[in-house]
Amino acid sequence: MTVQHKNLAAGKWSRMPLCEQMANIGSEVSRALNWRKKGNEDLSQKAASRTLELLDLSMSSSGIFSRIKEFARLREAIVDYFYGSNQFASSETLWRRYFDHFNYALRKRL
């Protein structure tokens, strides 16, 4: 797998606060949802792939077991929604609402 976020993979990602990481992950999810809605499955899959890459970076840079566990659950649900049969019954609305909270919190912090 080709690394898309080379700057972040080089160590910048691990220095970001959790809220900022989640907001960035949410941006990729939003891109994937937008491309899916426009009918461009190829670009949707590429954005979903970048989402997984960021989640993997979060899991590898976090030393807190509960965070790693939550990232792994989130990864599983995203894979199910974009690549699987959506057995968790996720929806576009659910994903947008989930990540909107992180964007809001990040904006309030800045």
Domain residue extents for the chain? 16-109
- Among residues 34, 44, 48, which one has the least CA distance to residue 79? 48
Number of separate helices (H) and strands (E) present in the chain: 5, 0
Q: What is the pLDDT of residue 109?
A: 77
How many angstroms separate the CA atoms of 99 and 97, rounded?
A: 6
Q: What is the pLDDT of residue 14?
A: 85
Query: Which amino acid is present at 61?
Result: S
Cβ-proximal residues to 4 (8 Å cutoff; 6+ apart), any chain:
49, 50, 53
The pTM of this model reads 0.88
How many angstroms separate the CA atoms of 98 and 82, rounded?
A: 16
Residuewise pLDDT in 10s, the chain (110 residues): 565 666 665 578 888 899 999 999 999 999 999 999 999 999 999 999 999 999 999 998 878 888 899 999 999 999 999 999 999 999 999 999 999 999 999 888 76
Q: Tokens in use for 51?
A: 């989402």
Q: What is the pLDDT of residue 29?
A: 98
